[in-house]
């Protein structure tokens, strides 16, 4: 085995895994992140309700600008809810993809 082969194989032996008890306060941090997700979902629902009302008022008063803003608000609120709800799954998916590289 020459020096070049040894240098190329050396990085393959490193194994580092996440450590959930390495730092103090990890449990509290998980609770804070969970609470933030809850607040995000509640705000997304509030934004959806307000945007739907704006959309309805714009459509009812024949105001296309207001109706368009309401439609955009509905889409943004739904997108925010999707991101809040799927954030843990997305991070886990990309973590697993990164582990296979």
Average the pLDDT over 88-96 and give the result: 92
Where exactly are the structural domains of the chain?
35-101
Among residues 33, 17, 36, which one has the least CA distance to residue 25?
Answer: 33
Q: How far apart are CA 37 and CA 90, in angstroms?
A: 14
pLDDT digits (tens, 9 = 90+) for 14-67: 777 777 777 888 889 989 999 999 999 999 999 999 999 999 999 999 999 999
Torsion angle of C-alpha atoms 84, 85, 91, 92, degrees rounded to 10:
160
CB distance 64 to 58 below 8 Å:
yes
CB distance 73 to 47 below 8 Å:
yes
Global pTM exceeds 0.85: no
């Amino acid at each position: 085995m020459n020096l070049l082969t040894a240098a190329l194989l050396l990085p393959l032996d490193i194994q580092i895994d996440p450590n959930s008890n390495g730092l103090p306060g990890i449990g509290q941090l998980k609770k804070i992140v969970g609470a933030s997700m809850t607040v995000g979902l509640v705000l997304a629902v509030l934004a959806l309700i307000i945007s739907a009302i704006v959309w309805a008022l714009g459509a009812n008063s024949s105001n296309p600008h207001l109706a368009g803003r309401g439609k955009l608000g509905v889409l943004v609120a739904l997108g925010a809810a999707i991101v809040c709800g799927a954030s843990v799954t997305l991070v886990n998916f990309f973590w697993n993809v990164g582990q296979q590289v």
